[in-house]
Structure 1
Amino acid sequence: MPRFASVAALTSAVLLALAGCGSNDEKDKAPSAPAGVTVQAGSATSVHVMWNQPPAKAGIKGYEVYRGKTKIKDVPAEKTMIDVTGLKPSTAYTFSVRARTDEGAFSPYSEETAVTTPAAVAEDKEAPTRPEMLTGRSDGARAARLSWAKATGDQGITSYDIYQGGSKIHSVGGDATSAQVTRLRPGTHYRFTVTARDAADNTSPASRAVEITTPRGPGDDPDTAPIDFRATTHAADGAHYVDLSWLAPKTGGEVPSYQIYIDGTFATTLIWGGEAPKGRADYSVYVSKEAGETYRVKLRAKLPDGNWGKFSPERTVVTGKPGPGDAPTARP
Structure 2
Amino acid sequence: MEGISVQRPHARTALTCAAALLLVSLTACAGGAEADDRKPTPPRGVTAQAGSATSVHVMWEQSTDDKGVTGYEVYREGRKAASVPAGKRMTDIGGLTPSTAYTFTVRARDAAGNLSAPGSAAPATTPAAPAADTAPPTAPVKLRGTADSGRTATLSWGGSTDDVRVTSYDIYQEDSRIHTVAGTGTTARLTGLRPGTVYTFTVRARDASEKSSPDSNALDLTTPSAAGAPAGTAPTGLRTRTTAEGGDFAVDLSWDQPDTGGTIPAYQLFLNGKPTTTIVWGGTPPAGRATYRLTLTDPPGTRYSLKIRPKLPDGTWGDFSAQRTIVLPG
Instruction: Please tell me the TM-score bracket, short chain as reference.
Output: 0.5 to 0.7
For 2:212, the aligned partner's letter is T
Out of 90, 96, 105, the residue aligned to residue 87 of structure 1 is 96
Question: Counterpart of 1:24?
Answer: 34
Gaps of at least 5 residues in structure 1 are: 1-19, 225-309, 315-332
Q: Partner letter of residue 168 of structure 2? A: S
Out of 198, 216, 225, the position equivalent to 1:207 is 216
Residue 24 of structure 1: how far off its partner (Å): 2.9
Q: How has the CA–CA distance of structure 1 residues 77 and 220 changed in structure 2, closer, same or farther, with 3 Å as cutoff?
A: farther
State the alpha-carbon separation in 1 of the partners of residues 82 and 106 from structure 2. 10
1:167 and 2:176 correspond: yes
Letter in structure 2 aligned against 1:128 = P
- Is residue 182 of structure 1 aligned with residue 188 of structure 2? no
Give the Cα separation in 1 of the matches to 2:184 and 2:126. 15
Structure 1 residue 133: deviation in Å? 0.5
Amino acid at match of 1:158: T
Q: Measure the CA separation in 1 of the matches of 2:79 and 2:163.
A: 35
Q: Which residue of 1 aligns with 2:160?
A: 151
- Structure 1 residue identity aligned to 2:49: Q
Q: State which of 39, 46, 52 in structure 1 corresponds to 2:48.
A: 39
Structure 1 residues 23 and 111 mapped into 2: Cα distance closer, same or farther (>3 Å)?
A: farther
Deviations 1:214-269 (A, max 9, x none): 11131446799xxxxxxxxxxxxxxxxxxxxxxxxxxxxxxxxxxxxxxxxxxxxx
Aligned residues: 208
Mind listing any 5+ residue stretches in structure 2 that lack a counterpart?
Answer: 1-29, 234-310, 317-330
- The residue correspondences of 1:213-232 to structure 2 (distance < 5 A) are 213-220=222-229
Q: Return the letter of the residue paired with 1:74.
A: S
Aligned pair 1:128/2:133, yes or no?
no
Task: Name the CA distance, whole Å, in 1 between partners of 2:209 and 2:68.
Answer: 39
Q: Distance in 2 between matches of 1:34 and 1:221?
A: 33
Relative to structure 1, the CA distance from residue 149 to residue 58 in structure 2 (aligned partners, 3 Å threshold; closer, same or farther) is farther
C-alpha contact 1:65 1:96 (8 A) present in aligned 2: yes
Q: Summarize the alignment of residues 70-85 of structure 1 with structure 2, pairs less than 5 Å apart.
A: 70-85=79-94
**In 2, Cα distance between equivalents of 1:218 and 1:188:** 14
Question: How far is the alpha carbon of 1:53 from its aligned partner?
Answer: 1.5
Q: Measure the CA separation in 2 of the matches of 1:57 and 1:89.
A: 41
What code does the residue aligned with 1:36 have? Answer: G
CA distance in structure 2 between the partners assigned to 1:222 and 1:109 by the alignment: 41
Partner of 1:280: none
Note the C-alpha offset of 1:34.
Answer: 1.0
Per the alignment, in what secondary structure is the counterpart of residue 176 of structure 1? coil
In the alignment, which residue of structure 2 is the partner of 1:193? 202
2:84, 2:107 → 1: CA distance?
10
Q: Distance in 1 between matches of 2:200 and 2:162?
A: 26
Residues 23/109 of structure 1: CA separation in 2 closer, same or farther (3 Å cut): farther
Q: Give 1:89 shift.
A: 0.3
What is the correspondence of 1:1-332 to structure 2 with a 5 Å cutoff?
Answer: 23-25=33-35, 27-55=36-64, 59-220=68-229
Q: 1:55 to 1:108 in 2, by over 3 A?
A: closer
Deviation at 1:144, TM superposition (A): 1.4
Q: Secondary structure at the match of 2:48?
A: strand
User: Residue 232 of structure 1 corresponds to which residue in structure 2?
Assistant: none
What is the deviation of 1:131?
0.1
Opposite residue 24 of structure 1, the aligned amino acid is E
Deviation at 1:23, TM superposition (A): 4.0
1:72 alignment partner, SS class = strand
Aligned partners of 1:186 and 1:222 also within 8 Å: no
CA distance in 2, matches of 1:52, 1:148: 24
Return the alpha-carbon distance in structure 1 between the equivalents of residues 152 and 185 of structure 2: 18
Deviates more, 1:110-119 or 1:48-57: 48-57
Partner Cα distance (1:171, 1:221) in 2: 33
Q: Which has the larger radius of gyration?
A: 2
Judging changes above 3 Å, is the alpha-carbon distance between structure 1 residues 90 and 102 closer, same or farther for their aligned structure 2 residues? same
How many angstroms apart in 1 are the aligned matches of 2:83 and 2:51?
20
In the TM superposition, what is the alpha-carbon distance from 1:175 to its structure 2 partner?
Answer: 1.1
Shift of 1:57: 5.8
CA distance in 2, matches of 1:98, 1:127: 35
Give the 3 Å change call, closer, same or farther, for CA 67–313 of structure 1 in structure 2. farther
Measured in 2, the distance between the counterparts of 1:197 and 1:154 equals 12
Q: Distance in 2 between matches of 1:117 and 1:189?
A: 35
Call closer, same or farther: CA 1:107–1:55 in 2, change over 3 Å. closer
Q: Quick one: higher RCO (CA 8 Å, sep 6+), 1 or 2? A: 1
Q: Deviations over 1:71-105 (max 9, x none)?
A: 11110001110011121100111111111101221
Evaluate the alpha carbon distance shift between residue 79 and residue 221 of structure 1 in structure 2; reply closer, same or farther with a 3 A threshold: farther
